[in-house]
Structure 1
């Protein structure tokens, strides 16, 4: 059942706005592994609910993984039907933002949780992952979908942790592997309807030259594939592994560098891993398969659970007549949500590496869907394991037990024996169970039993693998691991190399380790404290304790301080800091106040110099005060500073003078003018007054000059900007209207546009006047064409403005149920001609044919009237002459008629 819901719906257990099943058609759901997940369909515009399918509406539709929600992105009406395109509701995350977060040495679940907590606003999505790979990533201004799926970026989740995405409405799963082998076989004459194969030999590598950071190469240069002999000639590629760095030269002290022999071995292993896991020495093969899903047929309905196929599953396709049989993974499908059946499956035979043209494999294509994990992910997989230790142990135990065919069981009253032979005397592999416990011996019934559980609570084993291990004491020579937990919560200690992180709620509350100072590359042991420590860029409030040797000097210094912001050289700024060194110097700095309090007094003593820097220094003397210095004298006051002199007051500085008047008035009054100059272009000259600012130029001009823009604000609102465009034009930008002084060819006029400058705006005025004095004109002559013919050639049409149509569509999208449906009859209709129509006479348009020439159009209409008037006057005059001649002829005819009548009168008798 396909159901339509309003955009803000949160309860999807009811039928929402309505059910679309009776009228929906051409519905297709398409999903790619780690790729797009979309729904498209068509719907009659005037069918029930057709006009209610609007942007952002939610649609619930059946998928292979159950009912899923899709958000309408593009409802496009066309000829009485809607073409609707929807994204899975997962893509709502695109609208959120991760401003800045640094995920440090965490597994998949913790990484996703930190992403969620750092989103700009709270989300109702939940994130789940079973990936235990430990990795790090710095994310800055990324939306959550980019942060998870954008494999073109080295710092995305896919690139660092890998995995396969499963979207289940508002739950996002990042899994080590989605799907499994359910034993499904698609076979010709059974359920296979057709297949199409594509084998690509272009990206094959059989001889690889792995290259590490800064051009690091192996002594032997190449790593050969075991399958190289299967090809006519070697297929050679240079493959870069930028994350493998050797501790040599300038990189000897880098945190992420390793000894040179280890770096060589990492390069060899990385190349072998591409052969073994990415199969770059095989051609890429993908297959599109059309089949009848037997789980929906009557014959196989009782075996439906054995015939279902899901995204990520491994299936077998057989076509005996073609000699075709493959085992491959589902990485793409098209699904019919109306009939609830597959339309098409796409299978891939192995994971592919992206080394085609450029030879770079910093990103690895995952699951044959062009979704690539970066080689940094491979690096992190070397540190962690692709599957958890517990999962591997479970699989190992399952495989051992399920393959344990054969053997002999002998039951005695006091014990049970399970052996590899029927005779206890010849058996070597023996399990023995009795009242004291059970154990396994590989050397016969007499032991020793190296694997055992005894009745006194002891476990003897070479390896113990468990999910949770509880105990009061763990004793051993060496404990290998990176996380120490005292309970099963989110509070623990994480150890990596020489770094220790104290975690609370999965957040780093304290960090103990070292840094390499950016200014002098000295090693600096450091302790950091914060509610969430970011070791790559200190957050405001980070408390630091550090110590380091001063480069080039024979002493050490230590500091204790708290960070607030960064200085211009991008080093942390300490707003309060205590520095000590082995020379015996101590300095205490504070951006605000420093309090030293003693109930019985404070003594400050120095054998040489005493310096006091305070907010206020008050010296009272009944006589006079002498301030003498052989160096500098600095005076600063946040209140009044009065300098009174009966003579001149002279202040001279070779560098600068600072004067502050924060709470009162600052008067500068001179008789011969004043000039204020700020010569540094990175600084500004500010005039700020709560009582208003008056600029008066008297009989002279007031100049305002800016290289960028001039902005006028009123009551905190931007009322007018004067801005220069890149085309040397000038814009006067009001709140809703913009005036542009055009300078582009064809637009060198005063233009009136809307506030954003995206469209022309209407002008309302009492009159428009066009300058028309003879002194403005030249080459004056009579019109050389028939004005009436030009007017008759003009095609007058009616039209709507595109901006009005956009407003109409927006109003229709925001229409509330019960409101009338708006049409083009509800917006203004305009009448005129098309300036850029080649059939429009040139006398009615501008030279560049981008606008109508109104003044010329009016003049030509007047000229046409004059031509018509002259023609009519001439025609009337001609008719008058004809009428006059006609009257004369009538008069002559009348005379002749009378004469003829008189001549024929009869004689009187």
Structure 2
């Protein structure tokens, strides 16, 4: 077991134990992310010996991983919460975070330099100076601009996380080792670990990643050929990846190659084929965040040691055996349990290079797009026909050419007789079917308003739509890969065109990631006997029903679960009380415990005047039965007047058998066969009435003490007899034969 060690803010020698090891700290967890500043969190009791010494600014030294580069890392305490339930939570940031408190003086703009030179310039511009050392093996030559004052508000932003930073311009992966900052082409190594996904390891996010993996590309391009705008597509529609046959169905991604300006179908096909290869279309993206224990189950026994030594940014292979596909992944986040010296969680992410051409999110598939294009084009053709075949009209400048205020287009030469009137003036443009004075049912006015009975458009963008009602066969909202559909009184949510949830007047249902199988529902119910209505949360056969609690970071811990095929409710931690922060106790009635264990950090307590009955032998497995006897808990102490021998002589030991009809409960039967012991009614000194029933009991604690007192009195008698015997022997001149 390893312990975090507390040091004062001014400490420079970390070979000593400093203020002391934080032995009473709980949940000491060190979190690291790729190109992120490491963090440390733990809780500490307010009655702990070092509580008063824990202050913001103090340093904590501990390991953050299994290997040498992760040992003895220094953290600065940045926040301490207010005490709650007798403990506080402490937050600390890696010592490299001091760059947040450091400004970057304005420098110069450099072009064509290496990452090492950029880091050197960064270190020279720090104010105040810090004892950092920097190194980089990144061979990329790029530009970096330190000349604009205030662009980097603090020095850490210049390392990464802001436009124009060293990380953005040069790439790479940071290694933070106390004051040593290294920007490496690869901060990790090829671990040789092969993780078999699907055998003992599954993950909902990864399942979604697999199910939404594109197997093919649907390429298109909007181009101008011979002065005519055209949309190029492939006659075969798709370009498939070599893995397409490993999936149950084709899932195509629409990709726009307009910016590459292909001039033929063959050029478009070549671009799509190269895209499929460069971007590993058909290979699932790795997105796994799992506990170390679950991860260990997914590797061969021969690789356990390698897994234990995996570090941040190391590369692993994820084998999707059901698809016969292997993907490369990187360790992008870790949570290290400092005290247990093992990983709590490991997060794996996609390790493939950035896409050469970004896959643009598409909201509709090809058929939907074509349908909408046809609809708009029909409206365009209708408008074209009306404008090219308008019938006879008359253009009038009103009121006169000498004083031109308005431009009119009339169906007659006289504004008094015209019925169809176009009117254009400083107020706007409008059309009336009822003459010059209106009403203008179609108008565009200078206050920004457009009035129309019908608007046909391919895309309508609006901040707000206000109306009495919006009607249609369906109403749909779409996102990058999700949509919500309101149709036939049902609200449905889809993810990648797979049904995720639906809601109608009686129930809310959730679906499996296959978009078809119902997982469970929240619905109205009615008791057939009482006709009382209620609300029920149900899970379908083979589906787990759980209740989880989040930590605000997207992580959820299951607290309650009903497992498939089980009639039991599994609860990780059940706390009974009348309120969230209540110190009162709740009650569990008519409960039966099976394989229940009290953790060694807690106590099993039975309060006063509570009957505790055993109907089986109490096996202490070699441990003691203790009774409180501390003098600090006693008063009015005096020598007892109990005469042990006299009380013991009055005890009447008998042989007997218990009555079989004493209790009717088959689980509460008394021992069978002949017994040896006392009868409480004949042993008044030891008899006691216990809560729970009206039967007398024997006080075993009192009996043990009585036996001891009796033995003491007998010992005193024996010693007196021995003394008397020796004196008689001396008088008689007899030798001591003992």
TM-score (norm 2): 0.38
TM-score (norm 1): 0.31
Larger RCO (CA within 8 A; separation ≥ 6): 2
Decide which structure has the larger Cα Rg and report it.
Answer: 1
